[in-house]
Amino acid sequence: MEKRTVAGALAFSIVVVFFLFSIFLLHPFGKPGQVQMDDYIITHTQNETGTNNGVTSVVFDYRGFDTLGEATILFSAVAGVLLLFRRVRH
């Protein structure tokens, strides 16, 4: 076997073991431990943002700046693709 494969297998197994260890320390599926931030959002979204959809209120109001970043990412991807294919013309 190649040296690279051995090193990779070893590293992968260590990473898997540690990931599994850490996964079992998280809260179990369906029972989140700390929820103060999300509870605040669910309770106040109708009053503060006037929106019925909690997710939209987070996306555009509470974390609206992230969404601006996300739009920027799409914009830069478009600019990048157009830059790469700029010589492609009829």
Q: Where in 7-46 is the site for other proteins (CB under 8 A)?
A: 7-8, 10-12, 14-16, 18-43, 45-46
Q: Is 69 in the site for other proteins (CB under 8 A)?
A: yes
Assess contact for 67 and 59: CB atoms under 8 A.
yes
Q: How many residues bind other proteins (CB under 8 A)?
A: 81
Cβ contact 48:35 at 8 Å: no
Tell the smallest beta-carbon distance from residue 65 to other proteins (Å). Answer: 5
- Do the beta carbons of residue 45 and residue 57 sit within 8 Å? yes
Q: Counting contacts by CB under 8 A, is residue 6 touching other proteins?
A: no
- Residue 1 in contact with other proteins, rule: CB under 8 A: no
Measured between its terminal Cα atoms, the distance across the chain in Å is 51
